[in-house]
Amino acid sequence: MRFLPCISLLLLVQLLAGCETLRLSQPAPPESPNVFEETPPAQAAPDATGQCPPVEAVVCAEPEVKVVERVIERKFETIVEVPVAKDKLVLGSEEYFVIEPGALRLKALVDTGAATCSLSVGDMTPFERDGNDWVRFNLSDGGDAEPLKIELPIKRHVRVARPGFERQRRPVVNMSLSIGEVTHMVEVNLVERGEFEFPLLVGRNFLKDAAVVDVSRKLVQGNGTAPAVGK
């Protein structure tokens, strides 16, 4: 019976050893999901010298804002009414006139910048008659008809300056110009030249108190006709 305590002690030691072996053989419990492993920050790779490049700051550009301004311009048209006397003709920049003597219908340039009328003639020859100065010249309307020979007394002489030409001394004679219902006896200076587009230039000495000029129009008074014989 004295061996019974020894046997019990051995059994107790065996039992304790078996429990410890069982605890060690169990797997470790899983980690708590609330525990996060901190990842070390990435470091720049060293360059050829073994030094890391400096850190550059990145600045984002501000967005471009375009402002569109709309300007509405309003234009107002002003109409100015210019009174025109009822007894005055309206002439364009080009008109046909009938000239006397000769009763020729000539194409004329209406020039408000010219003081007197001017007529292109041919074979102009001054001469003396009864102690007075006269002039003889040929006048043509540009057609195929034979030029008219006209002789008129010289009233005076004028000097005319034109750009690019020398000053000319021209004889001045009195002639009758007609257009529409208007006929005026006016001074006309004579010039001898060759080809011309306008054989007659009508100046202010005819237009004064007789007509107004609309430079934007031509042949307002039509093609013109020679006055009837006896009128």
Q: Determine the 3-state secondary structure of 174 from DSSP.
A: strand
Cα(194)–Cα(121) distance, integer angstroms: 8
Token pair, residue 229, equals 């014989």
Residue 200 near residue 106, CB atoms below 8 Å? yes
Q: How many whole angstroms separate alpha carbon 9 and alpha carbon 136? A: 176
How open is the CA angle 118-128-120, to the nearest 5 degrees?
Answer: 20
Helix (H) / strand (E) element for 4: namely: helix 4-25
How confident is the model over 124-145, as pLDDT tens digits? 999 999 999 999 999 998 888 8
SS3 121: strand
Of 74 and 186, the structure prediction assigns the larger pLDDT to 186
121 alpha-carbon distance from chain centroid: 42
Q: Which CATH class is domain 89-213?
A: mainly beta
- Tens-digit pLDDT profile for residues 164-223: 667 889 999 999 999 988 999 999 999 987 666 899 999 999 999 889 999 899 999 887
- pTM of the predicted structure, to 2 decimals: 0.59
Residues in contact with 70: Cβ distance below 8 Å, sequence separation at least 6, in sequence order: none
